Amino acid sequence: MPREVVVAEGLTKVFDGFKAVDEVSFRVVEGEVFGFLGPNGAGKTTTINMLITLMKPTKGEAWINGYSVLKEPDKVRRSIGVVFQDSTVDRELTGWENMWIHGVTYKVPRDVLKRKIVDLLGFVELDKYAKTQVRNYSGGMVRRLEIARALLHEPEVLFLDEPTLGLDPQTRAKIWEYILELKRRTGMTIFLTTHYMDEAERLCDRVAIIDHGKILVVGSPEELKRMIGRDVVYVKAFDERSAKMLIGEVARRGLALSYASPSSNVVSFTVEDAHSFIPEVFEVSSRLGVHILEVKYSKPTLNDVFLHLTGRELRDESGSWMDFMRARMRRGFRRG
């Protein structure tokens, strides 16, 4: 039996009568990369805060590395490395100084500490910038420094809260590489949160999809996608009324496994086989006298899984605006 490094049972957090996290239970085994995928406000950060002993659960319990977050918070803290959603490095200090202070705080022996800082800054390719003030780092460099810092005291489990939030695609890919390399090299247990489906897909062995404080489903990205069907067909109808007529007739004939409407005149159908469904949907539309503007099909993504579970899309406008502001804040509104 693989060792269970993170165990949550019925974790619940209520803020002034509002349930931000609602009876969340899951288990993460040693060496696993486990992700919480969900939109803004789903309760990801609140869950992490309870796991890392920053916040007391209203109800429920969790164990990290076998230690109770309620009864043994010190032992929990020594078992974990954390990269917070919002940057926590000291911008006035250099990368090296930020690492050093963290190492001293965690009582890493001085002789070991120096070597470890060199190793870790090398790992995230910041060795050349060790003596540079963090205020001159880009958003991606800050994240890399934070990952290196979280690893300094050799934690049993690494928590990453939205590790690539607001970063550009190339920088994100670079961070993904480090995380995958860390898994390969050390077999570290990693718990991460994200609202990027491609990130969950790329990094996670198993994903829990979370919405409104509740875990909707848990499984490997493959399992989750297989769950909804083999193909997804998007049909863009002339208007909302046409879309509704199509849905009604497709449902009546049992042609699709499920449907969801990401917007008023668009329908996403999950089907066993797009090649047989598409002619059928055209046949239905001509019989109904409904005008179809566009048909697309693809293999399901985790976004489709989310859409078919909740009726909403994972990516939302407010999310991207928040990302933008957060990224700006992380860069300290520096030009360029």
Ligand X SMILES: Nc1ncnc2c1ncn2[C@@H]1O[C@H](COP(=O)(O)OP(=O)(O)O)[C@@H](O)[C@H]1O
Angle of helix 139-151 relative to helix 110-123, nearest 10 degrees, comes to 140
User: In terms of CB distance, is 91 or 312 closer to ligand X?
Assistant: 312
The structure tokens 């890493």 sit at 108
User: In terms of CB distance, is 85 or 171 closer to Mg ion?
Assistant: 85
CB of 126 to ligand X, least distance (A): 27
User: In terms of CB distance, is 50 or 203 closer to ligand X?
Assistant: 50
CB of 168 to ligand X, least distance (A): 21
Does residue 45 interact with ligand X by CB under 6 A?
yes
| Neighbour count for residue 18 (Cβ, 10 Å) | 8
* Per-residue CA distances from 149 to 106, 126, 218, 248, 251 (Å): 11, 12, 30, 55, 54
DSSP 8-state class, residue 133: B
The interface region with ligand X, picked from 42-50, 97-105, 216-224, 239-247 by CB under 6 A, is 42-50
User: In terms of CB distance, is 18 or 333 closer to ligand X?
Assistant: 18
Q: Which two tokens stand for residue 249?
A: 């007739």
Query: From the centroid of its chain, how far is CA 26?
Result: 15
User: In terms of CB distance, is 46 or 189 closer to Mg ion?
Assistant: 46
Does residue 194 interact with Mg ion by CB under 5 A?
no
The option from Mg ion, ligand X, none interacting with 87 (CB < 5 to 8 A, set by class) reads none
Q: Which two tokens stand for residue 264?
A: 């008023």
User: In terms of CB distance, is 85 or 133 closer to ligand X?
Assistant: 85
User: In terms of CB distance, is 44 or 202 closer to ligand X?
Assistant: 44
Does residue 285 interact with Mg ion by CB under 5 A?
no
CA distance 165 to 270: 30
Containing 99, the helix (H) or strand (E) segment is helix 95-105
| Neighbour count for residue 307 (Cβ, 10 Å) | 23
Does residue 43 interact with ligand X by CB under 6 A?
yes
The interface region with ligand X, picked from 4-12, 37-45, 164-172, 259-267 by CB under 6 A, is 37-45
CB of 67 to ligand X, least distance (A): 23
Does residue 20 interact with ligand X by CB under 6 A?
yes
24-53 residues in contact with Mg ion (CB under 5 A) are 44-45
Long-range CB contacts (< 8 A, 24+ apart) of 278-282? 278/233, 280/253, 280/255, 281/233, 281/235, 281/246, 281/250, 281/255
Q: For residue 59, give the nearest of 24, 7, 35, 27 by alpha carbon.
A: 24
The structure tokens 């790329």 sit at 202
- Tell me the per-residue interface mask from 76 to 115 with Mg ion, x by CB under 5 A, - otherwise: ---------x------------------------------
CB of 49 to ligand X, least distance (A): 7
228-247 residues in contact with ligand X (CB under 6 A) are none
Contacts of 318 (CB under 8 A, 6+ apart): 40
Selected binder of ligand X within 44, 77, 144, 225 (CB under 6 A): 44
Selected binder of ligand X within 31, 41, 66, 262 (CB under 6 A): 41
Task: Name the residues that contact ligand X, by CB under 6 A.
Answer: 15, 20, 38, 40-46
